[in-house]
Amino acid sequence: MKNFDTIIIGAGHNGLICAAYLALGGQRVLVLEAADTLGGLAATREFYPGFKTSIAHSVSQFSTKIVRDLDLKAHGFKLGKALATVGLGDAGDHVIVQQGAVSGVSPDDASAYADYRQLLRRFADVLKPVWLKTMPRIGNNNLSEILTFARIGLKLRLLGKDDMGEFLRVAALPARDLMDENFDSDLLKAVLSWDGLIGSKMAPRSPNHTVLTMLYRMSGEYDGDHAIPAGGIGGLITALYSSAKDAGAEIRTGAKVGRILIEANAAGLTATGVELVDDEQIMADRVVSSADPQRTFLELVGTQNLEIEFSNRIRRLRCDGYVAKLHLALDGLPEFSGLERSDGRMIIAPDLDAIEFAFDDAKYGESSERPVMEIVIPSLHDPSLAPAGKHVLSAHIMYVPYRLKGGWTDEAREALCERIIGTIEHYAPGIREQIVHRELLTPLDLEQICNVTGGHWHHTEFALDQMLMMRPTYEAAQYSTPLSGLYLCGAGCHPGGGLMGGPGHNAAHEILK
């Protein structure tokens, strides 16, 4: 009574991409989404009557290959213009990074930035062939897998002797050191390291992971520039939905999977379908989960069906989110002192120490005394997100721990919210009077709204020990898992989180092999 070849758990962008590819490959595909809306962290939500936004508020690396393959343009996807990244200065002395150039800094820094960007682009280029490929296990490799390694090796070599050596050094560097080596402006340093830090439990001084994250974000087709698609982030999801639908995939919302059905036979365990929380069972040849690894294995599969060390390796994945989300419904466009246009990505982090010290609070389970943040006003890019003349402010706040000492009480939320608005007010005097409604989503809230363990953007930390053929663990890094018939396609797999689409794409290709 099998109706489907493949069931995909979760209709985030990766789930939808995977579904679209599989359906195009001729499979009968069913996508099950627990929430009532599609998109997961990229879903557009109405947080106050008439005011909408999504958790993710910009796109920096969505794969153009996927756009082509799935013909997303025909389905209405159109990426907006690159956003300027603005470091808000204390006295209106802002640093603006736009179109490969930086303004508001000394000539030395400006020219250093050009070199720096060149170098990082070259490095990011080395990693490019990696993202849309399955990373092979180290072991008995076949020719195509060896070629994957060889291609990276070749790319490295082609950098030339000096750059290659430098790459091997810089890749493991903390963001702070890279910044200190290149720039003088404190604000510029903070702004440029931002993309290496946000979404993770890492600070500017944390070695081994932060520069890599930066390179990851730069290795999309837009060189790390952020943009907002037509129709907001929801526009991307709508296009993906439409593409998957056209290809023949069936997509159900409000269908929360309670567990993955598993059958034992002489060869071992096989996933045969899913059971929804309302006890409905749906069978399929295979189950593909775009849920995070902890949810997939520990909740949906259950440890009794897993190996002991494997389940403990899944347990120890760093899945606690450290970013909160603030949504403000505003009755007018806020004015940031000394800033002409507020349609960019505005970063409030005066220097690297400010970020570091905000992190120090969070590492002990306290929410930062002086939070640092990234602000976007999505309604400037997509008027449909707010009533005419009104606006939405969307901000990512760091560092806000998932596990707050004493728990996330109303008082704790309120206090944090006040601190954040106080900070914003410093740069945008008068904003407080414009606020119609405010919503603060802690990582704990994100977990509940989006069904992501720990509320972590990337499902699990993007870091050296949790990337490539180690993401999420070496036994499950090729999208297949220790259980036959069970696959992963979420951000917890290589290449990782962010609105890129790599995991969904790669998983589909593994399955279709």
Partner 1 sequence: MKQYDAIIIGAGHNGLTNAAYLAKAGLDVVVVEKNEYIGGAAVSRELHSGFTYSSFSYVCSMMRQTIHRDLNLTRHGLLLVPYLGTVNFGDDGRTLVSYHSKEVAYNQLRRHSPHDADSMFRFQTDLTRYAQLIRKTLLRTPPDPTSFRPRDIREMLFLAKEFWALGEKELYEYIRFFTISAAEFLDDYFEDDLIKAAMASPGIIGTALGVYSPGSAYILLHHVMGDVDGNIGAWGLARGGMGAISNAIAGACQEHGGEIRTNAGVKQILVRDGKAVGVTLENGDELRAGIVVSNLDAKRTFTQIMDKNDLPPGIYDKAKNFKIRGSSGKVNIALSGLPKFTGVPDNRYIDRGGQGFVGSLETMERAYDCWKHGRWSDNPFIESVIPSAWDPTVAPPGKHWMSNFIQYCPSKLADGPWTPEKRDRFGQTVIDKIERYSPGFKDLIVHMEVLTPHEIEAGVGLTEGNIFQGELTIDQLLFNRPFPGYAQYRMPIKNMYMCGSSTHPGGGVSCACGANAAREILRDLKLPNTVPKDDCYDE
Partner 2 sequence: MNTEDRWAGERLKETHFHPRQAVLNLRDAWSSWNGYKFADYYYDAEYEYFCVRNSCGTYDICPMQKYDVSGPDAEAMLNRMVTRNIANMMENRVTYVCWCTDEGRLIDDGTIFKLGPEKFMLTCGSPCLGWLKKSAFGFDDVTFTDMSDGIAALSIQGPTSCEVLKKLGLEGIETAKPYDIMHFPFHGSSGDTLMVSRTGFTGDLGYELWIAPELALDLWDALYASGEDYGIQPYGEAATNMARLEAGFIMPEMEFNEALKTVHFQHDQTPFELNLGWLVDFKKPHFNGRRALLQERDKGPEYTLTKLDIEGNKPAEKAYLYSNKRCTRKIGYITSAMWSPVVKANIALAMIKTEYLQGDIWAEIYYEKELRQTSKVAKCTIRKKPFWTPARARATPPHAY
**Residue selected from 151, 205, 245, 419 as contacting partner 1 according to rule CB under 8 A:** 205
In the range 215-274, which residues lie near partner 2 by CB under 8 A? 264, 266-269
Phi-psi region of 50 (alpha: psi -120 to 50; beta: other; left: phi over 0): left
**Residue 156, burial from CB neighbour count under 10 angstroms (0-12, 13-18, 19+):** middle
**Residue selected from 74, 154, 168, 512 as contacting partner 1 according to rule CB under 8 A:** 168
When asked if residue 311 is in the footprint of partner 2 (CB under 8 A), the reply is: yes
Nearest to 83 by CA among 200, 283, 223, 178: 223
The item of partner 1, partner 2, none sharing an interface with residue 346, based on CB under 5 to 8 Å by kind, is: none
**Residue selected from 100, 207, 248, 350 as contacting partner 1 according to rule CB under 8 A:** 207
Alpha helices (H) along 248-365: 293, 308-315, 352-363
Beta strands in 313-367 (DSSP E): 323-330, 345-348
When asked if residue 366 is in the footprint of partner 1 (CB under 8 A), the reply is: no
In the range 289-308, which residues lie near partner 2 by CB under 8 A? 298, 302-308
When asked if residue 138 is in the footprint of partner 1 (CB under 8 A), the reply is: yes
Helix, strand counts (H, E) of the chain: 16, 19
The item of partner 2, partner 1, none sharing an interface with residue 207, based on CB under 5 to 8 Å by kind, is: partner 1
**Residue selected from 55, 83, 173, 489 as contacting partner 1 according to rule CB under 8 A:** 173
CB closer to partner 2 out of 46 and 309: 309
When asked if residue 139 is in the footprint of partner 2 (CB under 8 A), the reply is: no
Structure tokens at 339: 């800033």
329 contacts: CB under 8 Å, gap ≥ 6: 47, 48, 50, 51, 386, 390, 392, 435, 436, 437, 438
Binding mask 253-292 for partner 1 (x = CB under 8 A): ----------------------------------------
Structure tokens at 382: 């997509």
When asked if residue 315 is in the footprint of partner 2 (CB under 8 A), the reply is: yes
| Cα–Cα distance for residue pair 102/315, rounded to 1 Å | 42
User: Is 255 within 8 Å of 28 (Cβ atoms)?
Assistant: no
CB closer to partner 2 out of 302 and 389: 302
**Residue 415: Cβ within 10 Å count:** 12
CB closer to partner 1 out of 433 and 465: 465
User: Is 493 within 8 Å of 471 (Cβ atoms)?
Assistant: yes
In the range 468-497, which residues lie near partner 2 by CB under 8 A? 482
Q: Which residues bind partner 1 (CB under 8 A)?
A: 137-139, 157, 161-162, 164-166, 168-170, 172-174, 177, 180-181, 202, 205-209, 309, 316, 318, 353, 356-357, 360, 363-364, 463-465, 469-470, 473-474
